[in-house]
Amino acid sequence: MQKPTLLILAAGMGSRYGGLKQIEPVGPNGEAIIDYSIYDAIRAGFGKVVFVIRESFADAFREKFDPKLKGKIDVEYIFQELNQLPGGFTVPENREKPWGTAHAIQVAQHAISEPFCALNADDFYGYPAYQAMAKFLMHSADEREYAMIGYRLSKTLSDFGSVSRGICDVDRNDMLQKIVETIKIVKREDKIVSIESDGRELFLSGNESVSMNIWGFKPSVFKTLNEKFTRFLEHHRNEPKSEIYIPSVVFEMITEGSAKVKVLKADSPWFGVTYREDKPRVIARINQLIAAGDYPEKLF
């Protein structure tokens, strides 16, 4: 049985956080959230980890991860840069932001030939999520069948600012029907509000199923990503802050009938570091999990 690969998306600039949050220490021995992701992936049965980073991050990542992971899991680094574009396209002069999560996955295509799980570097997903995803990736034989882990919206918010979430419509068979990228969701006392681009405010219940960008894909997805990214550049390359999000691409594939997505149920904790003020709460949550025996005090 082929072991799946863990694809960690870590090329983001962390503009809201104000630093290289991907390797910010949150564990008792200086562990980053990535360390917990890899630890969970190893015990769930993943065989390789691929980091998507910026080349300027390479030394810091290799120094932090290579020694501790040697002999435990295969490791590869892929760079996501603005100039990684299809033939005929160039980077606009005013472009600074990365091209988005769909592009981050696309650039890893030459490093991955097996089923894989793609996820954010700065999100703590919990061992049950990796366990459920590994089981799916090792047993689903349909190249057109993908997966995601769904989380309840109310459990994924920050107390310190707005967050972006992919809100999902799931049918009775746990198949994803629709996903809408909602880019400004805030907590306001006991209410949850989505602030639309035109300034309108929509109230949410908090029970909505959301994508936290933990996806299970087959290698077949790369052909589609190449096509979608080219189309995105044709229409949006001169918009300085435009990005191509993987939830939007997945929704297009579902609508076109080129893919189906199973929403996996996993009783997993989720927490993340969007703002620097989130860090103390993340540290406290990890210490609680260690005290409960879910993780050793020293991972590697």
pLDDT tier at 84 (50, 70, 90 boundaries)? very high
Query: Is residue 297 domain-resident?
Result: no
pLDDT tier at 20 (50, 70, 90 boundaries)? low
Query: Is residue 296 domain-resident?
Result: no
Number of domains comprising the chain: 1
Compute the distance between CA of residue 199 and CA of residue 83 in angstroms, rounded to an integer.
34
Tokens 């260690």 correspond to 290
Query: Is residue 141 domain-resident?
Result: yes
Q: Give the pLDDT of residue 16.
A: 47
Q: Give the pLDDT of residue 297.
A: 95
The strand pairing partners of 175, in sequence order, are 262
Q: pLDDT digits over 57-81, tens only?
A: 899 899 999 999 999 999 999 999 9
CA 194 to chain centre: 21
Q: Give the pLDDT of residue 69.
A: 95
Q: pLDDT digits over 86-128, tens only?
A: 988 999 988 888 899 999 999 999 999 999 999 999 899 999 9
**Residue 291: other Cβ atoms inside 10 A:** 10
Confidence check: pLDDT of 197 > 80: no
Query: Is residue 299 domain-resident?
Result: no
Confidence check: pLDDT of 13 > 60: no
Confidence check: pLDDT of 139 > 90: yes
Query: Is residue 265 domain-resident?
Result: yes
Query: Is residue 249 domain-resident?
Result: yes
Q: Give the pLDDT of residue 2.
A: 86
CA 57 to chain centre: 18
Query: Is residue 241 domain-resident?
Result: yes
Query: Considering only 132-136, 212-216, 247-251, which range has the smallest mean pLDDT?
Result: 247-251
Q: Which domain holds residue 15?
A: 5-291
CATH number, domain at 124?
3.90.550.10
Tokens 């991050």 correspond to 57
Mean pLDDT of the chain: 90
Q: Give the pLDDT of residue 292.
A: 96
Query: Is residue 300 domain-resident?
Result: no
